[in-house]
Copies of this chain bind each other. A is one copy, B any other.
Amino acid sequence: MTSELHRAFSRFLSPAEILALSPELLVDQRRRFTATPDIILQPHTVEAVQNVMRHCFAHRIPVTPQGGNTGLCGAAVAQSGVLLNLAKLDKIRETNPADNSITVEAGAVLQRVQEAAGQAGRFFPLSLASEGSCQIGGNIACNAGGLNVLRYGAMRDLVLGLEVVLPEGTLVSHLQPLHKNTTGYDLRHLFIGSEGTLGVITAATLKLFARAQTTATAWVTLPDIESAVRLLTLTQGSFAERLCSFELVSRFALELSSAFSRLKKPDDGEWHILLELSDSLDSPDLTDRLAEFLYQNGFENSIIAQSEQERRDLWTLRENISASQRHLGTSIKHDIAVPIAAVATFVRECSAALAQKFDGIRIVCFGHLGDGSLHYNTFLPDILSNEAYSYEDAVNDVVYEHVLRHNGTIAAEHGIGIIKNQRLPAVRTPAEIALMRAIKAHLDPHNIMNPGKLLP
């Protein structure tokens, strides 16, 4: 099969566009899944993507698009056929400051897009821990979230136009910078968050914003989550959209990250908030106003970053939480969100229910409290890594029951992939899943686009 595929694709791809089956592209970010494609293709042009799709459509060969391979739900793990790596489609095609837009190809690494926006005197707000390697196409395909959603929205809110190769090879291009355009059903939003199951995103026009001229950053230590929610409400009341990040860190998460990062803990305490204000205009008193605000409202266990280095250290403590857990073994991760008013109750009740059912379970709770979005990772004691996943369903049953009780979501910003698709019927109605299937069947009648992902 593989050599036959190799011969077939060699007819219209250059040798450099056909890759060896290397582990770094096959093993997923969490080292949980290993892809088993028959071939890895890395097209250098959009036309090559079209040719690949035409061939695969004609021959019913499955295709799994892959960006930076930083996904956490297995959406880019190819089970057979073609693993379609987009890394070489990485041009910054155009920056357009007048329309506050930038047009980039799918393989452009997020950090490069941020930098290109900066060079044009603008700001691209999507920011997440893997920004040095994740790619824009993957960010769009899974509707990535991250640290700045509170102020600027998720990836979905940042896409003005898309260029997509449909399963049968047709190119549909709407790379347009218009902020107002209503001509028929909005198909762009179908592809955003579709995890490679409807077509291959090859480029996008993205929204840009003004750069922050002033930033103020604080670390606040609190006795309970109720206080953190109170701080959120007060901060929004006093600073409105100047608040761009409001991150929650539990005592255990801070201990892990502090040891891993070799940075001392800002303070002891059960819960911590890292919050950041920014202003696109020069605002020399912003830090003083934040300090005064925290003092006046009784949040005395607070540290205000006094230099860029101090600010970066605080952010390192937040961003290293994921990496610092690895030595604990295999975690059963959750990417959930609940309404702000329900966060405290959710955390208290869910933790108690887990502790009761799973003796000695340890929970690393952190995340984007400003969006009600939590990473709620659980570690079972004395369980070997390869055994942990056998408890996944039982742990998930408890967590998701509490999430749904509070009208939350089981997938806030990481997507569905292969680890949650069987849970989709718990959050979407039969009518909705039927419509999703109809859309999929129309665009991809032979089910070649990333089969087995997203849909149950």
Contacts and interface: CB of A to CB of B under 8 A. Distances in A.
Interface stretch (A30-38, A83-91, A337-345): A337-345
Contacts of A427: 183
A186 B180 contact: no
B428 A435 contact: no
Interface string A154-175: 1011000000001000101000
Q: List 3 tightest A-B contacts by C-beta distance, closest first.
A: A210-B240, A189-B189, A240-B280
A196 to B, nearest CB: 12
Interface string A127-161: 00000000000000011010001100110110000
A229 B143 CA distance: 33
Nearest to A340: B98
Contacts of A170: 429, 431
Interface string A69-95: 000000000000000000000000000
A239 B281 CA distance: 7
Interface stretch (A2-10, A296-304, A405-413): A405-413
Interface string A397-419: 00000000001111111111000
A179 B411 contact: no
A432 interface: yes
Contact of A179 (B372, B407, B424, B431): B372
A339 B178 contact: yes
A439 interface: yes
A177 interface: yes
Nearest to A431: B170
Contact of A371 (B121, B180, B371, B454): B180
A98 B149 CA distance: 16
Contacts of A409: 176, 178, 180-183
B373 A180 contact: yes
Interface in A324-355: 337-341
A236 interface: yes
Given A99-B341, A210-B240, A341-B98, A182 B413 contact: yes
A413 B96 contact: no
A400 to B, nearest CB: 12
A227 interface: no
Contact of A187 (B150, B157, B432): B432
A383 interface: no
A58 interface: no
Interface in A233-247: 233, 236-242
Nearest to A368: B180
A11 interface: no
Nearest to A367: B180
